[in-house]
Amino acid sequence: MRPALFTPLVVFLVILLLGYIGFQLEDPHRLPSALVGKPFPDFAAQRLEGGDGALVGREDLLGSPTLVNVWATWCPTCRAEHEELLRIRASAPVRIIGVNYKDDPAKARRWLRDYGDPYEFNLVDPDGALGVELGVYGAPETFLLNAAGEVVFKQVGAITESVWRRELAPRLAALGVAVSAAPNARPADASAAFSATPAAPQQSDVGSR
Amino acid sequence: MAPELGHLAVIVALVLSLAGAGFGLAGAGLGRRRWMRAAVSVTFGQAVFVALGFAVLVWAFLADDFSVAYAAHNSNSLLPWHYKISAVWGAHEGSLLLWTLIMTLWMSAVALWGTRLPPDFLARALGVMGLLNCGFLSFLLLTSNPFERLLPLPPGDGSDLNPLLQDFGLIVHPPMLYTGYVGLAVPFAFAVAALLSGRLDSAWARWSRPWTNVAWAFLTLGIALGSWWAYYELGWGGWWFWDPVENASFMPWLAATALVHSLAVTEKRGAFKSWTLLLALTAFSLSLLGAFIVRSGVLTSVHAFAVDPARGLFILAFLAVVVGGALALFGVRGAAAWSPVRYALLSREAFLLLNNLLLVVALGVVLLGTLYPLAYEAASGGDKISIGPPWFNRFFVPLMMAAAAALGIGPFLGWKRSNLRRLARRLLACFVTASGLAALFGLLLGGSLSWAGGAALVLGLWIAAAHGLDLVRRRRIGGPPPPLAYWGMSLAHLGFAVSLLGVALTHELSVEKDVRMSPGEVANHGGVAFRFDGVVQVAGPNYRAERGLFEIADGERRLQLTPEKRRYVVSGSLMTEAAIDPGFFKDIYVSLGEPLDNGDWAVRVYVKPFVRWIWFGALMMALGGVLAVADKRYRRLRSHSSAVRPVAAGQLSGVKAPV
In this predicted model, what pLDDT tens digit does every residue of B255-270 receive, in sequence order? 999 999 999 998 888 8
Give the chain A residue whose CA is nearest to the CA of B163: A190
Contacts of residue B306 in chain A, CB cutoff 8 Å? Answer: 157, 160, 162, 195-197
From A15-19, A145-149, B489-493, the region with the lowest mean pLDDT: A15-19
Give the mean pLDDT of B328-342: 82
pLDDT at B218: 96
Length of chain B: 659
pLDDT at B183: 96
* Nearest by CB: A5 against B282, B330, B570: B330
Say yes or no for a CB contact (<8 Å) between B301 and A138: yes
Say yes or no for a CB contact (<8 Å) between B604 and A18: no
Whether residues B628 and B479 share a domain: the answer is yes
* Model pLDDT for residues B164-175, shown as the tens digit of each residue: 677 787 788 889
Residue A126, pLDDT above cutoff 90 = no
Between A2 and B140, name the one with better pLDDT: B140
Best mutation site among A78, A101, A113, A141 for testing chain B: the one with the most B CBs within 10 Å? A113
Say yes or no for a CB contact (<8 Å) between A8 and B331: yes
B167 found inside a domain: no
Contacts of residue A155 in chain B, CB cutoff 8 Å? Answer: none
Whether residues B43 and B118 share a domain: the answer is yes
Contacts of residue A74 in chain B, CB cutoff 8 Å? Answer: 238, 241, 388-389
Residue B519, pLDDT above cutoff 80 = yes
pLDDT band at A25 (very low <50, low <70, confident <90, very high): low
Say yes or no for a CB contact (<8 Å) between A157 and B95: no
Say yes or no for a CB contact (<8 Å) between A194 and B294: yes
Q: How far apart are the first and last CA of chain B?
A: 54
Q: What SS3 state is found at B227?
A: helix
Between B416 and B439, name the one with better pLDDT: B439
Helix (H) or strand (E) holding A153: strand A151-156
B153 found inside a domain: yes
Long-range contacts of B416-422 (CB under 8 A, 24+ apart): B416/B269, B416/B342, B416/B343, B416/B344, B416/B347, B416/B348, B416/B349, B416/B647, B417/B343, B417/B344, B417/B346, B417/B347, B418/B344, B418/B346, B418/B347, B418/B348, B420/B346
Give the mean pLDDT of B360-382: 79
pLDDT at B370: 81
pLDDT band at A187 (very low <50, low <70, confident <90, very high): very low
Say yes or no for a CB contact (<8 Å) between A137 and B281: no
From CA B514, how far away is CA A108, in angstroms rounded? 12
Q: What SS3 state is found at B380?
A: helix
Say yes or no for a CB contact (<8 Å) between B386 and A128: yes
Give the chain B residue whose CA is nearest to the CA of A154: B301
Q: Are B564 and B547 a contacting pair, CB within 8 Å?
A: yes
Contacts of residue B91 in chain A, CB cutoff 8 Å? Answer: 187, 192-193, 195, 198
Say yes or no for a CB contact (<8 Å) between B330 and A110: no
B201 found inside a domain: no
pLDDT at A206: 33
B608 found inside a domain: no
Q: Are B8 and B73 a contacting pair, CB within 8 Å?
A: no
Q: How many domains does chain B have?
A: 3
Surface-to-core class of residue A49, CB atoms within 10 Å of its CB (0-12 exposed, 13-18 middle, 19+ buried): middle
Residue A195, pLDDT above cutoff 90 = no
B182 found inside a domain: no
pLDDT at B651: 37
Residue B563, pLDDT above cutoff 50 = yes
pLDDT at B315: 82
Residue A97, pLDDT above cutoff 50 = yes
Say yes or no for a CB contact (<8 Å) between A77 and B335: no
Whether residues B494 and B568 share a domain: the answer is no
Say yes or no for a CB contact (<8 Å) between B298 and A26: yes
CA distances from A204 to A83, A197, A207, B103, B547 (A): 22, 17, 9, 38, 39
Residue B654, pLDDT above cutoff 60 = no
Q: Where in the sequence is the domain holding B51, given as residue range(s)? A: 1-161
B642 found inside a domain: yes
Q: What SS3 state is found at A145?
A: strand
* Model pLDDT for residues B532-555, shown as the tens digit of each residue: 998 888 887 767 888 999 999 988
Give the mean pLDDT of B486-505: 94
Give the mean pLDDT of A42-62: 82
Say yes or no for a CB contact (<8 Å) between B319 and A16: yes
* Nearest by CB: B316 against A19, A107, A199: A19
Give the mean pLDDT of A150-159: 83
Bridge partners of residue B606, in order along the sequence? B512, B589
From B334's Cα to the closest Cα of chain A, the distance in A is 7
Q: What SS3 state is found at B10?
A: helix
Whether residues B157 and B35 share a domain: the answer is yes
Share of chain B above pLDDT 90, in %: 42
From CA B376, how far away is CA B399, in angstroms rounded? 25
Q: Are B457 and B449 a contacting pair, CB within 8 Å?
A: yes
Residue B632, pLDDT above cutoff 80 = no
pLDDT at B291: 73
Domain finish residue from B105, B136, B161: B161
B133 found inside a domain: yes
pLDDT at B652: 36
Crossing angle of helices B244-269 and B203-233, in 10° steps, is 150
Residue A202, pLDDT above cutoff 90 = no
Among left, alpha and beta (phi > 0; psi -120 to 50; other), residue A157 is left
Give the chain A residue whose CA is nearest to the CA of B303: A157
Residue B18, pLDDT above cutoff 90 = yes
Whether residues B528 and B485 share a domain: the answer is no
Residue B116, pLDDT above cutoff 60 = yes
Domains of chain A, earliest start first: 33-47+63-186 (3.40.30.10)
Cβ contacts below 8 Å, chain A against chain B, sum to 234
Whether residues B15 and B123 share a domain: the answer is yes
| pLDDT, chain B, mean | 85
pLDDT at B283: 96
pLDDT band at B384 (very low <50, low <70, confident <90, very high): low
Say yes or no for a CB contact (<8 Å) between A114 and B235: yes
Give the chain A residue whose CA is nearest to the CA of B237: A74
Give the mean pLDDT of B77-99: 87
Residue B306, pLDDT above cutoff 60 = no
Say yes or no for a CB contact (<8 Å) between A158 and B572: no
Whether residues B398 and B538 share a domain: the answer is no
Residue B13, pLDDT above cutoff 90 = yes
Whether residues B143 and B31 share a domain: the answer is yes
From B26's Cα to the closest Cα of chain A, the distance in A is 24
Contacts of residue A77 in chain B, CB cutoff 8 Å? Answer: 302-304
Give the mean pLDDT of B391-405: 90
Give the mean pLDDT of B363-368: 91
Say yes or no for a CB contact (<8 Å) between A83 and B70: no
Best mutation site among B292, B295, B327 for testing chain A: the one with the most A CBs within 10 Å? B327
pLDDT at B302: 35
pLDDT at B638: 44
φ, ψ dihedrals at B232, nearest 5°: -90, -25
Contacts of residue A90 in chain B, CB cutoff 8 Å? Answer: 572
pLDDT at B253: 96
From A135's Cα to the closest Cα of chain B, the distance in A is 6
B166 found inside a domain: no
Residue B378, pLDDT above cutoff 50 = yes
Residue A40, pLDDT above cutoff 90 = no
Bridge partners of residue B591, in order along the sequence? B604
Q: Highest mean pLDDT range out of A42-51, B94-103, B644-653?
A: B94-103
Give the chain A residue whose CA is nearest to the CA of B311: A196
From B324's Cα to the closest Cα of chain A, the distance in A is 6
pLDDT at B243: 78
Give the mean pLDDT of A24-31: 46
From B118-122, B441-445, B616-620, the region with the lowest mean pLDDT: B441-445
Contacts of residue B164 in chain A, CB cutoff 8 Å? Answer: 80, 190
Residue B28, pLDDT above cutoff 50 = yes
Say yes or no for a CB contact (<8 Å) between A13 and B292: no
pLDDT at A200: 33
pTM: 0.77
Q: How far apart are the first and last CA of chain A?
A: 68
Which residues lie closer than 8 Å to B208 by C-beta, 6 or more apart?
Answer: B186, B187, B190, B191, B263, B280
Whether residues B153 and B39 share a domain: the answer is yes
* Cα Rg, chain A, nearest whole Å: 19
Best mutation site among B282, B314, B573, B590 for testing chain A: the one with the most A CBs within 10 Å? B573
Pairing outcome for strands A151-156 and B586-595 = unpaired
From CA A181, how far away is CA A201, in angstroms rounded? 11
pLDDT at B92: 81
Nearest of B580, B473, B548, B531 to residue B235 by alpha carbon? B580
Whether residues B502 and B536 share a domain: the answer is no
* Model pLDDT for residues B581-616, shown as the tens digit of each residue: 998 888 998 988 778 888 888 888 889 889 999 999
pLDDT at A168: 87
Domain finish residue from B161, B184, B218: B161
Residue B495, pLDDT above cutoff 90 = yes
Say yes or no for a CB contact (<8 Å) between A9 and B594: no
DSSP states along B29-70 = HHT-HHHHHHHHHHHHHHHHHHHHHHHHHHHHHHTT-TTBHH
From A205-209, B316-320, B452-456, B587-591, the region with the lowest mean pLDDT: A205-209
Say yes or no for a CB contact (<8 Å) between B571 and A77: no
pLDDT at A161: 80
Say yes or no for a CB contact (<8 Å) between A198 and B70: yes
Between B100 and A5, name the one with better pLDDT: B100
Share of chain B above pLDDT 70, in %: 89
* Nearest by CB: A23 against B289, B302, B316: B316
Whether residues B591 and B472 share a domain: the answer is no
ipTM of the complex: 0.77
Whether residues B587 and B618 share a domain: the answer is no
pLDDT band at B42 (very low <50, low <70, confident <90, very high): very high
From B409's Cα to the closest Cα of chain A, the distance in A is 31
Share of chain A above pLDDT 90, in %: 8
Say yes or no for a CB contact (<8 Å) between B384 and A135: yes
pLDDT at A180: 60
